Amino acid sequence: MGNVVNFAHRGSSKVCPENTMAAFRKALEQGATGIETDVQLTKDGHMVLIHDETLGRTTDGTGWVKDHTLNELKELDAGSWFHPDFRGERIPHLDELLELVKDTGTIVNLELKNGAVPYEGLEEKVIARVKDDGLSDRVVISSFNHYSLLLCKRLAPEIRTGILYMEGLYEPWAYADTLHADALHAYHVAVLPEFVAAARAAGKAYHPFTVNDPNEMLRLLQAGVDGIITDYPDRLAELLAKEK
């Protein structure tokens, strides 16, 4: 269990506002060995880290991410909604996260948020930046848009991809082969020990999401998953330490 990747979901998102530099830094302090985040494009083509396609839930702005420039988004408060102590936190640019982890061994899971909004060129921009920073071997690109993942593999076969899916996908490891994907990012209830064994035999890693209950974490660790995506990286770090 020592090599299981502890992916902090949107950073340490239960003690800091999600997808902010505060959340990413806190996750590393808590023992995360991976960071999971969401990538979208601004109106002027910059890569920013925010989950929702609209701004109302996690900032003091309104409207769609795609309709604002980077400078406009950088004026928004992305912390006060969570707690007044985080007033002034900003929506990060992808560069800020990559700079934070560049000199560490941290794995970065970049979820492309291109389902509701088909961001043209998102795949190319993300891949170019990852390559420029020399992080191809430390990035996993995931998405619920599997057409996008296939494009990523065609553009950069060396960068790992993970298919995001909910319950009920039949033999997902076989389906992943059709996309040349490397990992299965499954909703955690869809992960059984026999599935993990079959996936491993097919050369596919399991990274279930979003796992916050320690008992469920332990079940998945015992099933042999390769990583866990969690809002509580400290809980998972503690479990992993005990299981060593």
Give the three-state DSSP class for 160: strand
Which residue of the set 9, 68, 93, 185 is catalytic? 9
In the residue annotation, 207 being an active-site residue is answered as no
Q: Annotate 86-146 with three-state secondary structure.
A: HCCCCCCEHHHHHHHHCCCCCEEEEEECCCCCCCCCHHHHHHHHHHHCCCHHHEEEEECCH
Q: From CA 186, how far away is CA 169, in angstroms rounded?
A: 9
Q: Sort residue 184 into left (φ over 0), alpha (ψ -120 to 50) or beta.
A: beta
Which residue of the set 46, 51, 68, 185 is catalytic? 51
Strands 34-41 and 5-9: parallel
In the residue annotation, 46 being an active-site residue is answered as no
Encoded amino acid at 228, one letter: I
Long-range contacts: 85-92, Cβ < 8 Å, 24+?
86/16, 86/17, 86/20, 86/22, 89/17, 89/20, 89/21, 89/22, 90/20, 90/21, 91/19, 91/20, 91/48, 91/49, 91/50, 91/59, 92/19, 92/20, 92/21, 92/24, 92/48, 92/49
Q: Which residues participate in catalysis according to the annotation?
A: 9, 51
